[in-house]
A and B are shown apart, each in its own frame.
Chain A
Amino acid sequence: MSDAILVLAEHLRGEISEITYAMLGAGRNLAKALNAPLYAVLLGSDLAPLAARLGAADKVFLVENPQLNLASAGTAAALLKELMAQQQVGLVLVGGTNVSMGIGSVLSVRTGLPFVNFCKKISWDGALTCTSQLFGGKILADVKLTDGRGVISIYPGSFPAEAGKSEAAPTTVKLELPVAASTVLFKRYIEPEAGDIDITKQNVLVAVGRGIQSQANVALAEELAQALGGAVCASRPVIDQGWLPLSRQVGKSGMTVKPRLYLALGISGAPEHWEGMQGSQLIIAVNTDPKAPIFDGAHYGVCGDALELVPALAEKIKAKKGAA
C-alpha cells in the first residue's frame, strides 16, 4: 500500500465547496489506481457537520481551531506538512480556487515536493501524469510525478463533483496540531452587491460577453431573457464596462450559476468564465469565432452574430409561447 492521498477539504461559510467533491472524486480514482488510502482534512471550527458530507474519503481529519478559518497560506501549509508526516501522506490535492490559493505552493516548498498548478486531468500508468492548462487554456502541459508524490492544485471544473459525493458516514479523526499564530486576520465578509436579481436562483440565464459590442445591445438580450422567463448575466468584460451591475457577473470572480438553460451570447468561454457556469444543465453558445473555447463545452453551438440571431429567436419564442 502506497502513501496516502490527502484532499484539503475547502469550505466557506459553513458549506463544503464544490471543488472539494471534485478533488475527492479525482482522489478516489487515484486511490484505487495507486492502492492508497484517501484522506480528507478539514481546518477551522464547527467541522463535524461538514465532515459528514465527506463520505467519499476513507478517513476525515478534523483540526478544530478558530484560527484556521480562512487561514493564511503559510499557517495552513505548516499544519498540512505536520499532518503529512504524521499520517504518511505522499500526495496532496488542493483546490485551485481563490480561497485555497497559495497553500499548495508554500506546502510544496516546505516539503520539497513538486507542485503542479492548473491541473485538469490526472492519469496513472506506473507514474502519475498531471495535465495542466497554461496560458488561459490555449496550451496543455503534461508533468510526470514519477514517484507519485507531490502537491496538485485542481483546476475548478475539471473533475466531476458527483464522483466525490457519498452518503456514507466517514470515519472522522480529531487531531490536535500546533497552529502557528498568524498576523493576517480575517475581519468580515463583504456580501455581493444586493438589490438586484439573484442570478444564482434563475432557471434560465442569457449571458452576454464582449461580443455584444455595446451597452445598447444588452437590451436585446434582456428581451430574449424575458421571453424565456429568465434574467441576463454577463462575463467579466461586460461588467468591467459597467453595462451590467457586478451582481450579474458569472465566473471565477463572480457568481457560480447552475441554471437549466445557459444561453451564452458573444462569450468566448475563457476558463475564468467557464468556472462559474459549467454546472448549467443545458449550454447553448453563440459566437462569431468558430474556434471559441465556449464551443468545446457547450451542448449546442451557433457560429454567427448573436445580434442577428437574438431578435429572431425572441420573436419565435414569443410566437411559440403565444401559440401554446
Chain B
Amino acid sequence: MKSDPVTLLGPAGVGVLWLLTLLAFGIFGRRIWQLIGLLRQGRPENRFDQWGRRVAHFLKHVLLQPRLFNERSIGAPHFLIFWGFVLYATCFNWSLLRGLLPFLPIPYPDEVKIVSFFLEIFAVLVLGSLLVATMRRAFFAPPHLHLSLDANFILSLIGLLMLTTLFGSGFRLVAEGARAPGWSPFGNVLAELFADVPAASALKLSQAMWWLHMLVVLFFLVYLPYSKHMHLLASPFNVFFSNRGRLGDLSVQGTTEDFGSGASQWKELTWKQLLSGLSCAECGRCDRACPATASGYPLEPQQLIQKIKKHIVKAGLSGKPAADAHEPKLIGEVISEAELWSCTTCLSCMERCAVWNEQVPLVVTLRRHLVTQGAVDRTVQDMLANLTRYGNSFGKSDRMRAKWVQSSGLKIKDARKEAVEYLWFVGDYASYDPRLEEITKQTARIFQQAGLDFGLLYEAERNAGNDVRRVGEEGLFEMLKEKNLQAFAKAKFKMIVTTDPHTYNTLKNEYPWNGDGVQVRHYTEVLDELIQQGRLSLKKKLTGRVTYHDPCYLGRYNGVYDPPRRVLQALGLELVEMPRHRHRSYCCGAGGGRIWMEDTPGIKERPAENRIREAAALPEVPTFVVACPKDIAMFRDAIKTTGHEGKLAVKDIAELVAEAME
C-alpha cells in the first residue's frame, strides 16, 4: 500500500520497528519478570478459590469500576481513559503487528472505518477526560492525592497518543484528497484545517504521526512498570485475587507458616500483600477516608502501601547489595511503630480502595511482629496482661463478670446449667464498665419482657478476642478463643446474641462453628426481630429526631445496617442521617485496640470528636443513637470535650427501647 507508514523510513523502516519493538518489549518483559519474582518471594496465601465469585468480582470492578464513581469528578474521566486505553492498546498491537509483518493481508486499524471512528471518538473523550483530570490536579486537588510529576508526565503521554491519532487521521485524509465526515469526524475537521498542505507532505506527516504514536507507546511500555501506572497492569490481578471471604476474619488461608508472629521483613509478607503496592494508583481515597489521618495521627494508609512498594523494589531489585549496604528495617525504619498503632481497623480505607487493597490485615500482620518483640504500648501491655490473667481488659476478677445480674434483681439462666435458645455473650464493656451497667440491665429486662429464652455463661465468658487479635496478639486470641469454645461446649443454646459489635464480628467470622448451625446475632438484630414478631410491647410512642451511628464492626464489617434503623422507626423516632452513614460511617476511634491506647500528643481532634461535630451540625437532632458499648464510652466523652453537653445526648438503642416499653 502506498500509505504504509512504515515506509516513511524507507526499506529500513521495518527493521527499525523490529529493533525498537524488541528493545521495548525486552525491557518491559524483564521488569515484569523481576516484579513477578518479587511476588514469588512472598509467603504463600491461598487466593485461588471461588473462581466464579472472583470472575464476577473482576468483571464488575475492573470493567465497570463502580468504586471510582464514588468521587464524581474523576469517576467518568477515569472510566473513559480506561476504556480508551483498552481500545488503543488493542489497536496498537494490531498496528504493530501489521508494521512488523508487512506481508500480512490486513489493513492498519485506522484504515478500517468503524475502528477509525471509535479511535477518534475515544481520542476526543479521553482528551476531555485528561483536561478534567489535569484541572482537578491543578486546581481542585483533593487532599492526599499524590501530585507527582510522574502522573503529569503520563497524562501528557496519553494526550500525545490521542493527538497523534487525530492528526494522523487528518493528514491521511489530506494526502488522499478524501473527506470522511461520517467515519472520521474529527480527522475530517483537521483535514479541512490543513487542506492547503501538499499531498506528499501530508502523507509524510500522517506517517510521522504513526511513528510518533508507536514510539510513544513503546516508550510508555518501558516506562509503565517503573511508574504509578503499574497499577494498570497489577490492579486487575489485585482485584481478581482480593479477599472474597469474610473481611472480619483475619486468618490467612493456605499458609503453613507461622503467620501468628507477623512479618518483620518484606519476604514475610504474602505475595498478595506484596502485590498491593504495585496495584496502588496513589489516588488517596484511603487517606481521605482514614479517621487516623484526618485526626492527625501519624498514619496514611496510602503511604503505608507506597512505603512497602518502594522498599521491596529497592531491597529486592537493586541487584547484589554492597557488603556494607544497610537495608532499612521494614518496621522501625521504613514504617514507624507509631504508624502501625494509629490504625483503628475501621475498614474505611478498604471500603474505599478502588483497586481493592487490604490495608487493615497488613497493619495487623506488622503489629504481630511488634507484639512478638514485646514492643507494645504500656497501657496495651497492661490490658493484654489483664486479658491473659482475668479474661477481661478491666483487670477485674472473672467472677465479677456477671455482678450486674445480682444488683439488677433479675433471674437470668445459666446457659451452662439449663438449655436456652439464645446465649447472650455480654462482652467486657457491657459487663464491667460501671458507665454501662444500667444499659446492660435494661437490655436484660427487655429480653425478659419479650419472653426471650436466654442465658449467660456467667464467669466462664472471656473476652472474645476481636481487639486482641487486631492488636496483633495472635497467641492470646487463640487462648481466649479456646477458653470460650470450652465454655460454649458446656452450654446448650441455639443462637448467640452479642452486645458488642466487635465481639459479634469475631464470634461470627473467626470462631469455628464447624457447621453446627450456630447463628451469631447482634442485639439490634434480635430487637428488630422481636418488634417485628410483636413480642415487645411498645406502650409509649417516642417522638423526636435522632441520628444513628453505624459501628464499624456491625456495618462495614458485617453489613448490618437496617435492623437498628427499623427499630428506631418502630419506636416512632424520626431518623436523620449524618452525611457519613451506613458504609461511609465514621469510626469513633476505639477499634483495633485503640481504646486501650493513649492519645498521641499533638493530634488535631479525636475521631469521636469529629463525629460528634458532624452530628451536632444536624438541625434539631438532640439524640445520638449508638449500638455499641464502646461507642457510649467514646462519644459521651467526646460530647464533654467538644462542649456539646446538654445539646446532644448519646443513647444506646436499648435505652430507647426500654423507654418505649415503660
Contact = CB atoms under 8 A, between A and B. Distances in A.
Interface of A: 214-216, 240-241, 288, 305, 307, 311
Nearest to B601: A215
Given A241-B378, A241-B379, A288-B434, A215 B599 contact: yes
B187 to A, nearest CB: 66
B599 A214 contact: yes
B324 interface: no
Given A215-B598, A240-B378, A311-B640, 12 more contacts: A214-B598, A214-B599, A215-B599, A216-B599, A216-B641, A241-B378, A241-B379, A241-B598, A288-B434, A305-B435, A307-B637, A307-B640
A305 B435 CA distance: 9
A34 to B, nearest CB: 44
A108 B641 CA distance: 57
A288 B396 CA distance: 15
Contacts of B379: 241
Scoring A216, A240, A305 by chain B CB atoms within 10 A of each residue's CB, the highest score goes to A216
Interface of B: 378-379, 434-435, 598-599, 637, 640-641
Nearest to B645: A311
Nearest to A219: B641
A311 B645 CA distance: 11
15 contacts: A214-B598, A214-B599, A215-B598, A215-B599, A216-B599, A216-B641, A240-B378, A241-B378, A241-B379, A241-B598, A288-B434, A305-B435, A307-B637, A307-B640, A311-B640
Contacts of A215: 598-599
Contacts of B378: 240-241
> Nearest 8 pairs between A and B by C-beta?
A288-B434, A215-B598, A216-B599, A215-B599, A214-B599, A214-B598, A241-B378, A241-B379
Nearest to B599: A216
Contacts of B434: 288
A124 B434 CA distance: 44
A31 B511 CA distance: 69
A214 B435 CA distance: 16
Nearest to B379: A241
Contacts of A305: 435
Contacts of B640: 307, 311
Nearest to A304: B434
Contacts of A241: 378-379, 598
B610 to A, nearest CB: 15
Nearest to A220: B640
Contacts of B637: 307
A131 to B, nearest CB: 27
Contacts of A307: 637, 640
A246 to B, nearest CB: 15
Contacts of A240: 378
Nearest to A240: B378
Nearest to B378: A241
B428 to A, nearest CB: 16
A216 B605 CA distance: 12
Contacts of B598: 214-215, 241
A288 B432 CA distance: 13
Contacts of B435: 305
A216 B379 CA distance: 15
B438 to A, nearest CB: 13
A21 B599 CA distance: 45
Residue among A214, A240, A288, A305 having the largest count of chain B Cβ atoms under 10 Å: A214
B572 to A, nearest CB: 30
Nearest to A305: B435
A311 B639 CA distance: 13
B272 to A, nearest CB: 37
Nearest to B633: A213
A216 B598 CA distance: 9
Contacts of A311: 640
A214 B634 CA distance: 12
Nearest to A288: B434
Nearest to A215: B598
A307 B435 CA distance: 12
Nearest to B434: A288
A305 B598 CA distance: 20
Contacts of A214: 598-599
B386 to A, nearest CB: 13
A240 B381 CA distance: 13
A306 to B, nearest CB: 12
A307 B378 CA distance: 23
A132 B640 CA distance: 44
B639 to A, nearest CB: 12
A117 B401 CA distance: 35
A305 B437 CA distance: 14
Contacts of B599: 214-216
A305 B433 CA distance: 12
A216 B606 CA distance: 11
A248 B640 CA distance: 26
Nearest to A308: B640
B449 to A, nearest CB: 29
B646 to A, nearest CB: 12
A298 to B, nearest CB: 20
A307 B379 CA distance: 20
B416 to A, nearest CB: 29
A288 B378 CA distance: 24
A62 to B, nearest CB: 48
A214 B378 CA distance: 13
A214 B379 CA distance: 10
A154 B435 CA distance: 40
A26 to B, nearest CB: 36
A214 B597 CA distance: 9
A216 B637 CA distance: 11
B377 to A, nearest CB: 10
A307 B434 CA distance: 13
A241 B597 CA distance: 11
A240 B599 CA distance: 16
Contacts of B641: 216
B645 to A, nearest CB: 8
A216 B641 CA distance: 9
A310 to B, nearest CB: 10
Contacts of A288: 434
A311 B598 CA distance: 22
A307 B599 CA distance: 17
A288 B394 CA distance: 14
A187 B641 CA distance: 49
A292 to B, nearest CB: 12
Contacts of A216: 599, 641
A241 B434 CA distance: 23
A241 B381 CA distance: 12
Nearest to B597: A214
B635 to A, nearest CB: 14
A212 B149 CA distance: 50
A241 B601 CA distance: 13
A278 B598 CA distance: 31
A214 B603 CA distance: 15
A51 to B, nearest CB: 47
A216 B599 CA distance: 8
B636 to A, nearest CB: 10
A241 B641 CA distance: 21
A214 B244 CA distance: 39
A216 B435 CA distance: 19
Nearest to A216: B599
B48 to A, nearest CB: 46
A244 to B, nearest CB: 13
B378 to A, nearest CB: 7
A157 to B, nearest CB: 26
B307 to A, nearest CB: 29
B601 to A, nearest CB: 8
A314 B599 CA distance: 24
Nearest to B435: A305
